[in-house]
Structure 1
């Protein structure tokens, strides 16, 4: 259905009148410091405060941003960097120092913590210069525009990502930013907002992602599963081909966003990922939710969304759209408080608030507000991944010292996975021999056992190969049929959970030390 005429009229009204009608709370203009406080998953794991309490400095070049980082007493000394003007390749040079690790042609936030970068004055534009976070914690980026960052052609920056995060990044709040490109991969562009290699506790709020082939991903491959959780709220995803976002094995809370002109796919949940999708407005778009381009399914919980002019593909082996009548396939617990605006208000509300240079305006929650009760959740660092499953997470017992009783249901079954290291195969994990093994292509990955018909499993035994004992770190066991998490824990051994009828069981390694090698993934009825 099309949205009501009144809502369309609001979307074209003056900003002041719009604010009064739909409930927008404005910050003072011009913004001279970061405003508001981190919400969503960035508020968890100790919270995200950026450089609060530290020195405030001004920067009008990329070199000056690097100099501010390098001039701190340590890499963890809090700092607020107020940016104005245009940051480009010509004014972004490498700066050296004990408290920084920078590079030319990219704003490098590497091996640092407690930093805020905020646009002030008439605005801050990062023109063809990306912002790169690597091994960075407690970072706020607010009120800036990043545009036309390329991975090929000239000039290149940040692998083509407008904002890219990787390798041990945690607690990042990106708010009121505009991220845009001028085409897709063939024109030299990559993602606008990418997270990979252990990026956790991130919120993207009141921002615009537009005019790109790729919006953003969480997880660079189907073996990069230790990312998230992530919150996306009150954002505009406009004129994108796909990845809005692409979730591989990650948990995301996606609410009160406006999707407009998505050409191929929107929220693409894969490889056991889960998305809680609440009160979004999907307009004039295709395949806005589902699992696409893979046979590794993801799962979603939906409520309160509006689908306005959305078309859906037919289901196939590698195409599993949630529509045309989306229903929930899992449940996702949210550990923080939040207020939902009514979906019908979202286009006008996002138009008035999202992006850089909008005065950091936010919703005041008066637009058909709905206030969910936060579900029980962790207050400290949890194991990466969704918070669904049994009421109490089973604790794996120590590794078995003798063969368990009962029939090993893995013998004679099939196997697949997310990838395999050189010289190994999936079948090595179910062949009954501990002298052969499967190992992932990296430090994380998935190995699965599958049956032709429903099989009841209540116990899994994970045996590591000789010489690799102790390499397996955090893991989860997932019912691939429904996406339910059956157990979580660390280390190899015996894993017990409520007996479950399923056709495919996933053992997902989320963290490891060294190279994890699974000699046998045994399954038993109980």
Structure 2
């Protein structure tokens, strides 16, 4: 049995009750190019693993207030729960709910000081409109099959500091999978990052997701001194029409493989402040400065293999602009502790188009 079939078999055997329920209840067509649904992958499998609300109660929510109520009605802040979400979640239907097992707030989906929670879109889909998801001082969280769009940090209405999904302060073991995270512009239009991790956030996987139309894709570490984050996996994601931060890494380790990058306008993977990135079998197209250390004198590092650079422009090295190209070479080594299977970079555009984002039936890559 070849390696890819073994890996898929293990993923299906390890699949949580969450994934089974979500895949069954979502009335969405499965793309023909996809092989199977899969379980948790990447660094989220480490540090004891990520199971979310598996084994707990499953409830349905059609408003943000209902999501908060489900969290607050648990026996404790660690009682497992899966919250199936359908419909549009916005400021008008998201209020603060109080209880001993929650710490919520109006105008944001607040996952604060809790654990063992899954939020999964079902049925006709779940859209968080101008409303961010904030994970703070929490662990063992799964977010799947949802769209988060147009979250603002300035203007009106504002939510979550302008981040579509943001994590901070001692967060551990989060799997964000098959999501669509999008904005309608950059900082000047009131938006911030699509996927930001800071202040001691570790063991996170972002998989099979779309990040698009934003000035900032996302960061790991809020400043050059915030280096307590790391062990982040990014795989089979589409980054499209992003100015920079795809992602920005400050310290820590990231594994970045089988992603499709299209139209990175200023810079892409920005490894700096001692960060180390393993960058494997990605496809970069119609982009600029897709890998390197940018906007700082504090260098980061990378190990590269199997990537395709299709119409990529590279700036000359000067000052705080230090691109890895035009012929990127490894300047560090990174050891990955979990099993994974690489698709050929030439297959990545088709695989990601068939599988990434909300509403794809939680499908994953098969034989390429």
The equivalent residue for 1:11 is none
Match of 1:25 among 26, 31, 35: 35
The alpha-carbon deviation at position 18 of structure 1 amounts to 5.4
Q: How far apart are residue 26 of structure 1 and its match? A: 3.9
Cα drift, residue 16 of structure 1: 7.5
The one of 84, 90, 93 aligned to 1:91: 93
**Bigger Rg over Cα:** 1
After TM superposition, give the deviation of residue 250 of structure 1 in Å: 1.8
2:170 is aligned with 1:168? yes
Q: What is the SS of the residue equivalent to 2:101?
A: coil
Superposed displacement of residue 215, structure 1: 0.2
Task: Say if 1:202 and 1:229, in contact at 8 Å, map to a contact too.
Answer: yes
| 1:489 counterpart residue number | none
2:179 to 177, 180, 183: 177
Structure 1: unaligned runs, 5 residues or longer = 1-14, 28-35, 368-526
Taking the TM superposition and a 5 Å limit, the aligned residue runs for 1:188-227 are 188-227=190-229
Change in CA separation of 1:114 and 1:262 when aligned onto 2, cut-off 3 Å: same
Equivalent residue for 1:392?
Answer: none
CA contact (8 A) 1:26 1:359 kept: no
Q: Which has the higher helix share?
A: 2
User: Aligned to 1:285, what secondary structure does the other structure show?
Assistant: strand
Partner of 2:19: none
Contact persistence 2:239–2:246 (CA under 8 A):
yes
Pairing 1:346-425 to 2, within 5 Å after superposition: 346-364=348-366, 366-367=367-368
Residue 382 of structure 1 aligns with which residue? none
TM superposition shift of 1:317: 2.1
Shift of 1:17: 8.0
Question: Is residue 30–residue 361 contact of structure 2 (8 Å, CA) maintained in 1?
Answer: no
Deviation at 1:132, TM superposition (A): 0.1
Q: CA deviation at 1:242?
A: 0.2
Q: Distance in 1 between matches of 2:297 and 2:242?
A: 23
Secondary structure (helix, strand or coil) at the match of 1:48 reads coil
Q: 1:240 maps to what in 2?
A: 242
Contact kept? 1:288, 1:310, Cα under 8 Å: yes
Task: Give runs of ≥4 in structure 1 deviating > 3 Å.
Answer: 15-18
TM-score by length of 1: 0.64
Structure 1 partner of 2:112 = 110
CA distance in 1 between counterparts of 2:251 and 2:167 reads 17
2:173 alignment partner, SS class? strand
* Structure 1 residue aligned with 2:307: 305
Larger relative contact order (CA 8 Å, sep ≥ 6): 2
Question: What is the number of residues matched between the two proteins?
Answer: 340
CA contact (8 A) 2:31 2:354 kept: no
Deviations 1:121-170 (A, max 9, x none): 01000000000000010000000000000000000000000000000101
Pick aligned residue for 1:279 from 281, 294, 297: 281
Shift of 1:316: 1.3
Deviations 1:186-206 (CA, angstroms, capped at 9, x unpaired): 000000000000000000000
User: Are residues 17 and 66 of structure 1, via their aligned partners in 2, closer, same or farther at CA, if it must alter by over 3 Å?
Assistant: closer
TM-score by length of 2: 0.91
Give the corresponding residue for 1:340: 342
